[in-house]
Structure 1
Amino acid sequence: MFNNEKMKELVSYIISKCDYKNSFGKTVLYKLLYFSDFNFYEIYEKSITDETYIRRDKGPIPKHFEIIKEELVNEGKIKEEKEFVINYPKYKYLSLKIPEIKLLSEEELEVTNTVLEKLSKMNATTISDYSHGDMPWRATKNKEKIDYEFVFYRDDEYSVREYEKET
Protein backbone atom coordinates (compact mmCIF):
# COMPACT_ATOMS: atom_id res chain seq x y z
CA MET A 1 0.00 0.00 0.00
CA PHE A 2 1.32 3.44 -0.99
CA ASN A 3 3.19 5.11 1.87
CA ASN A 4 2.53 8.86 1.56
CA GLU A 5 4.84 9.93 4.40
CA LYS A 6 7.71 7.74 3.22
CA MET A 7 7.32 9.08 -0.31
CA LYS A 8 7.44 12.65 1.04
CA GLU A 9 10.63 11.79 2.92
CA LEU A 10 12.21 10.23 -0.18
CA VAL A 11 11.25 13.18 -2.43
CA SER A 12 12.55 15.66 0.14
CA TYR A 13 15.78 13.68 0.58
CA ILE A 14 16.51 13.46 -3.15
CA ILE A 15 15.78 17.17 -3.64
CA SER A 16 18.11 18.04 -0.75
CA LYS A 17 20.92 16.04 -2.39
CA CYS A 18 20.42 17.30 -5.96
CA ASP A 19 18.86 20.79 -5.95
CA TYR A 20 22.18 22.52 -6.65
CA LYS A 21 22.64 20.68 -9.98
CA ASN A 22 21.71 22.66 -13.10
CA SER A 23 20.21 19.63 -14.84
CA PHE A 24 18.05 18.64 -11.85
CA GLY A 25 14.35 19.17 -12.49
CA LYS A 26 11.07 17.28 -12.57
CA THR A 27 12.06 14.69 -15.19
CA VAL A 28 15.32 13.83 -13.44
CA LEU A 29 13.54 13.68 -10.07
CA TYR A 30 10.91 11.30 -11.49
CA LYS A 31 13.58 8.92 -12.76
CA LEU A 32 15.62 9.05 -9.53
CA LEU A 33 12.49 8.11 -7.58
CA TYR A 34 11.72 5.30 -10.03
CA PHE A 35 15.21 3.80 -9.94
CA SER A 36 15.38 4.10 -6.14
CA ASP A 37 12.10 2.20 -5.75
CA PHE A 38 12.73 -0.36 -8.49
CA ASN A 39 16.38 -1.04 -7.60
CA PHE A 40 15.38 -1.54 -3.98
CA TYR A 41 12.66 -3.92 -5.12
CA GLU A 42 15.14 -5.94 -7.17
CA ILE A 43 17.46 -6.36 -4.17
CA TYR A 44 14.97 -6.72 -1.29
CA GLU A 45 11.77 -7.78 -3.12
CA LYS A 46 9.81 -4.84 -1.74
CA SER A 47 9.49 -1.20 -2.74
CA ILE A 48 10.61 1.74 -0.62
CA THR A 49 7.35 3.66 -1.01
CA ASP A 50 4.95 1.28 -2.78
CA GLU A 51 4.40 4.10 -5.26
CA THR A 52 2.68 3.31 -8.54
CA TYR A 53 4.76 4.32 -11.55
CA ILE A 54 3.11 4.93 -14.91
CA ARG A 55 4.80 4.37 -18.27
CA ARG A 56 4.93 7.58 -20.26
CA ASP A 57 6.77 8.55 -23.45
CA LYS A 58 9.58 10.24 -21.52
CA GLY A 59 9.90 7.36 -19.04
CA PRO A 60 8.28 6.33 -15.78
CA ILE A 61 6.44 8.87 -13.64
CA PRO A 62 5.25 8.52 -10.02
CA LYS A 63 1.45 8.60 -9.84
CA HIS A 64 1.19 10.57 -6.57
CA PHE A 65 3.95 13.11 -7.22
CA GLU A 66 1.77 16.22 -7.53
CA ILE A 67 0.02 15.48 -4.21
CA ILE A 68 3.34 14.82 -2.46
CA LYS A 69 4.92 17.95 -3.95
CA GLU A 70 2.02 20.15 -2.85
CA GLU A 71 2.19 18.78 0.70
CA LEU A 72 5.96 19.40 0.89
CA VAL A 73 5.54 22.95 -0.49
CA ASN A 74 2.72 23.68 1.99
CA GLU A 75 4.87 22.34 4.86
CA GLY A 76 7.69 24.72 3.83
CA LYS A 77 10.10 21.86 3.11
CA ILE A 78 10.62 22.42 -0.62
CA LYS A 79 10.07 25.10 -3.21
CA GLU A 80 9.03 24.61 -6.83
CA GLU A 81 10.16 27.13 -9.43
CA LYS A 82 8.81 27.17 -12.97
CA GLU A 83 10.45 28.89 -15.90
CA PHE A 84 9.90 28.66 -19.61
CA VAL A 85 12.70 27.53 -21.87
CA ILE A 86 11.76 27.90 -25.54
CA ASN A 87 8.02 27.81 -24.66
CA TYR A 88 8.53 24.64 -22.63
CA PRO A 89 8.02 24.68 -18.85
CA LYS A 90 11.04 23.69 -16.78
CA TYR A 91 10.48 22.84 -13.12
CA LYS A 92 13.24 23.26 -10.56
CA TYR A 93 13.03 22.07 -6.95
CA LEU A 94 14.83 23.54 -3.97
CA SER A 95 15.15 22.12 -0.50
CA LEU A 96 14.17 24.66 2.18
CA LYS A 97 14.80 22.43 5.22
CA ILE A 98 17.19 19.59 5.94
CA PRO A 99 14.95 16.52 5.66
CA GLU A 100 14.29 14.59 8.83
CA ILE A 101 14.98 10.96 8.08
CA LYS A 102 12.65 8.98 10.33
CA LEU A 103 11.06 6.46 7.98
CA LEU A 104 13.76 5.58 5.46
CA SER A 105 15.96 2.67 6.54
CA GLU A 106 19.73 2.49 6.18
CA GLU A 107 19.29 0.05 3.28
CA GLU A 108 16.79 2.33 1.56
CA LEU A 109 19.13 5.30 1.87
CA GLU A 110 22.05 3.20 0.64
CA VAL A 111 20.18 2.15 -2.52
CA THR A 112 18.95 5.72 -3.09
CA ASN A 113 22.47 7.14 -2.64
CA THR A 114 23.82 4.62 -5.16
CA VAL A 115 21.13 5.71 -7.65
CA LEU A 116 22.00 9.39 -7.03
CA GLU A 117 25.71 8.68 -7.49
CA LYS A 118 25.12 6.92 -10.80
CA LEU A 119 22.27 8.90 -12.37
CA SER A 120 21.83 12.37 -10.82
CA LYS A 121 24.48 13.91 -13.09
CA MET A 122 22.32 13.13 -16.14
CA ASN A 123 20.10 15.74 -17.75
CA ALA A 124 16.41 15.13 -18.50
CA THR A 125 16.98 13.78 -22.02
CA THR A 126 19.80 11.44 -21.03
CA ILE A 127 18.04 9.98 -17.99
CA SER A 128 14.79 9.57 -19.95
CA ASP A 129 16.64 7.71 -22.69
CA TYR A 130 18.36 5.59 -20.04
CA SER A 131 15.02 4.72 -18.38
CA HIS A 132 13.72 3.50 -21.77
CA GLY A 133 16.26 0.68 -21.66
CA ASP A 134 15.02 -0.69 -18.34
CA MET A 135 12.90 -3.84 -18.68
CA PRO A 136 9.99 -2.71 -16.45
CA TRP A 137 9.43 0.33 -18.70
CA ARG A 138 10.02 -1.66 -21.92
CA ALA A 139 7.58 -4.40 -20.90
CA THR A 140 4.71 -1.99 -20.15
CA LYS A 141 2.26 -0.35 -22.53
CA ASN A 142 2.05 3.45 -22.57
CA LYS A 143 -0.02 5.03 -19.77
CA GLU A 144 -0.21 1.71 -17.88
CA LYS A 145 1.09 0.83 -14.41
CA ILE A 146 4.63 -0.55 -14.40
CA ASP A 147 4.89 -3.90 -12.61
CA TYR A 148 7.76 -4.07 -10.11
CA GLU A 149 8.20 -7.79 -10.89
CA PHE A 150 9.74 -6.93 -14.27
CA VAL A 151 12.98 -5.96 -12.47
CA PHE A 152 13.80 -9.68 -12.35
CA TYR A 153 14.12 -9.64 -16.16
CA ARG A 154 16.50 -6.69 -16.39
CA ASP A 155 19.53 -6.66 -18.66
CA ASP A 156 22.93 -6.69 -16.92
CA GLU A 157 23.35 -2.92 -17.45
CA TYR A 158 20.33 -2.23 -15.20
CA SER A 159 20.42 -5.15 -12.78
CA VAL A 160 21.58 -4.30 -9.25
CA ARG A 161 21.17 -7.67 -7.55
CA GLU A 162 23.80 -10.37 -7.22
CA TYR A 163 22.22 -13.51 -8.63
CA GLU A 164 23.69 -16.95 -8.11
CA LYS A 165 25.20 -18.36 -11.26
CA GLU A 166 23.71 -21.57 -12.56
CA THR A 167 26.22 -24.42 -12.69
Structure 2
Amino acid sequence: YEEPLTGEQYRKLELGPAPIDFDNTIQSLETQSKIVKLEVHYHGHPQERFISLDEPDVSLLSARQLEVINETLERLSSMNATQISAFSHQDMPWKATEDKEIIDYELVFYRDPLTSVREYE
Protein backbone atom coordinates (compact mmCIF):
# COMPACT_ATOMS: atom_id res chain seq x y z
CA TYR A 1 0.00 0.00 0.00
CA GLU A 2 1.59 3.25 -1.08
CA GLU A 3 -0.15 5.87 1.10
CA PRO A 4 -0.29 6.14 4.89
CA LEU A 5 -3.60 4.63 5.95
CA THR A 6 -3.84 6.36 9.33
CA GLY A 7 -2.08 9.64 8.60
CA GLU A 8 -0.19 8.99 11.84
CA GLN A 9 3.57 9.00 12.48
CA TYR A 10 5.07 6.10 14.43
CA ARG A 11 7.98 5.89 16.83
CA LYS A 12 10.25 2.87 17.28
CA LEU A 13 9.71 1.57 20.79
CA GLU A 14 11.01 -1.58 22.44
CA LEU A 15 7.85 -3.62 21.88
CA GLY A 16 7.21 -2.31 18.37
CA PRO A 17 6.11 0.79 16.50
CA ALA A 18 3.69 3.07 18.35
CA PRO A 19 1.64 6.00 17.04
CA ILE A 20 3.04 9.30 18.28
CA ASP A 21 -0.36 10.84 19.02
CA PHE A 22 -1.91 7.70 20.56
CA ASP A 23 -2.43 9.15 24.04
CA ASN A 24 -3.97 12.38 22.72
CA THR A 25 -6.22 10.47 20.33
CA ILE A 26 -7.42 8.09 23.05
CA GLN A 27 -8.07 10.99 25.44
CA SER A 28 -10.04 12.84 22.77
CA LEU A 29 -12.14 9.76 21.95
CA GLU A 30 -12.84 9.19 25.67
CA THR A 31 -13.82 12.85 26.16
CA GLN A 32 -16.21 12.59 23.21
CA SER A 33 -17.66 9.35 24.69
CA LYS A 34 -16.74 7.47 21.52
CA ILE A 35 -14.77 4.80 23.39
CA VAL A 36 -14.59 3.30 26.84
CA LYS A 37 -11.47 1.91 28.51
CA LEU A 38 -11.72 -1.48 30.19
CA GLU A 39 -9.07 -2.79 32.54
CA VAL A 40 -8.95 -6.58 32.27
CA HIS A 41 -6.59 -9.45 32.99
CA TYR A 42 -5.33 -11.57 30.11
CA HIS A 43 -3.41 -14.71 31.08
CA GLY A 44 -2.69 -13.16 34.47
CA HIS A 45 -1.43 -9.84 33.07
CA PRO A 46 -3.25 -6.50 33.42
CA GLN A 47 -4.38 -5.10 30.11
CA GLU A 48 -6.22 -2.00 28.92
CA ARG A 49 -8.75 -2.48 26.15
CA PHE A 50 -10.52 0.30 24.33
CA ILE A 51 -14.04 -0.47 23.12
CA SER A 52 -15.73 1.67 20.50
CA LEU A 53 -19.20 2.89 21.40
CA ASP A 54 -19.95 3.87 17.79
CA GLU A 55 -20.03 1.96 14.54
CA PRO A 56 -17.07 2.92 12.34
CA ASP A 57 -17.79 5.31 9.49
CA VAL A 58 -16.30 3.24 6.68
CA SER A 59 -17.62 5.70 4.09
CA LEU A 60 -14.44 7.69 4.75
CA LEU A 61 -12.33 4.78 3.43
CA SER A 62 -11.74 3.66 -0.13
CA ALA A 63 -12.47 0.10 -1.24
CA ARG A 64 -8.71 -0.57 -1.35
CA GLN A 65 -8.21 0.79 2.17
CA LEU A 66 -10.97 -1.48 3.48
CA GLU A 67 -9.39 -4.41 1.65
CA VAL A 68 -5.99 -3.71 3.26
CA ILE A 69 -7.59 -3.42 6.71
CA ASN A 70 -9.52 -6.68 6.30
CA GLU A 71 -6.51 -8.56 4.91
CA THR A 72 -4.34 -7.32 7.77
CA LEU A 73 -6.93 -8.32 10.37
CA GLU A 74 -7.21 -11.76 8.79
CA ARG A 75 -3.44 -12.19 8.78
CA LEU A 76 -2.67 -10.89 12.28
CA SER A 77 -5.78 -11.18 14.46
CA SER A 78 -4.86 -14.63 15.79
CA MET A 79 -1.58 -13.28 17.22
CA ASN A 80 -1.15 -12.27 20.84
CA ALA A 81 0.80 -9.16 21.91
CA THR A 82 4.12 -11.03 22.14
CA GLN A 83 3.66 -12.46 18.64
CA ILE A 84 2.66 -9.07 17.19
CA SER A 85 5.73 -7.50 18.80
CA ALA A 86 8.02 -10.18 17.33
CA PHE A 87 6.36 -9.79 13.93
CA SER A 88 6.86 -6.00 14.00
CA HIS A 89 10.56 -6.52 14.73
CA GLN A 90 10.90 -8.30 11.38
CA ASP A 91 9.59 -5.27 9.50
CA MET A 92 12.16 -3.19 7.60
CA PRO A 93 10.91 0.21 8.85
CA TRP A 94 11.34 -0.94 12.48
CA LYS A 95 14.74 -2.57 11.78
CA ALA A 96 16.13 0.50 9.99
CA THR A 97 15.09 3.03 12.65
CA GLU A 98 17.06 3.93 15.76
CA ASP A 99 15.39 3.38 19.14
CA LYS A 100 12.79 6.02 20.04
CA GLU A 101 13.15 7.75 16.66
CA ILE A 102 10.26 8.49 14.30
CA ILE A 103 9.93 5.81 11.62
CA ASP A 104 10.32 7.20 8.09
CA TYR A 105 7.23 6.19 6.09
CA GLU A 106 9.33 5.76 2.94
CA LEU A 107 10.91 2.68 4.53
CA VAL A 108 7.69 0.73 3.82
CA PHE A 109 8.88 0.48 0.21
CA TYR A 110 11.76 -1.74 1.36
CA ARG A 111 9.63 -4.37 3.09
CA ASP A 112 10.04 -8.03 2.30
CA PRO A 113 7.04 -10.20 1.33
CA LEU A 114 6.44 -11.28 4.95
CA THR A 115 5.41 -7.79 6.06
CA SER A 116 4.50 -6.09 2.78
CA VAL A 117 0.93 -5.40 1.70
CA ARG A 118 2.04 -3.93 -1.62
CA GLU A 119 0.85 -5.62 -4.78
CA TYR A 120 3.30 -6.06 -7.64
CA GLU A 121 2.12 -6.66 -11.18
Structure-1-length-normalised TM-score:
0.65
Are the counterparts in 1 of residues 68 and 117 from structure 2 also a CA contact under 8 Å? no
Answer yes or no: is 1:149 the counterpart of 2:86: no
Report deviation, 1:100. 2.4
User: Secondary structure of the equivalent of 1:93?
Assistant: strand
Q: 1:3-50 CA deviation, whole Å, 9 max, x = no partner? A: xxxxxxxxxxxxxxxxxxxxxxxxxxxxxxxxxxxxxxxx2x221232
Answer yes or no: is 1:128 the counterpart of 2:85: yes
Report deviation, 1:79. 0.8
Which whole-Å CA distance do the structure 2 matches of 1:52 and 1:109 have between them?
20
User: Secondary structure of the equivalent of 1:146?
Assistant: coil
Which runs of no fewer than 5 residues in structure 1 stay unpaired? 1-42
| Equivalent residue number for residue 107 of structure 1 | 64
Cα distance change, pair 98–59 in 1 and its aligned pair in 2 (3 A): same
Which whole-Å CA distance do the structure 2 matches of 1:118 and 1:85 have between them?
21
The residue correspondences of 1:58-97 to structure 2 (distance < 5 A) are 58-83=15-40, 89-97=46-54
Answer yes or no: is 1:139 the counterpart of 2:100: no
Which runs of no fewer than 5 residues in structure 2 stay unpaired? none
Shifted more, 114-123 versus 131-140: the winner is 114-123
Report deviation, 1:97. 1.9
Which whole-Å CA distance do the structure 1 matches of 2:47 and 2:83 have between them?
16
Sequence identity (%): 47
Aligned residues: 121
Which whole-Å CA distance do the structure 2 matches of 1:100 and 1:46 have between them?
20
User: Secondary structure of the equivalent of 2:115?
Assistant: coil
Which whole-Å CA distance do the structure 1 matches of 2:20 and 2:101 have between them?
11
Structure-2-length-normalised TM-score:
0.87
User: Secondary structure of the equivalent of 1:142?
Assistant: coil
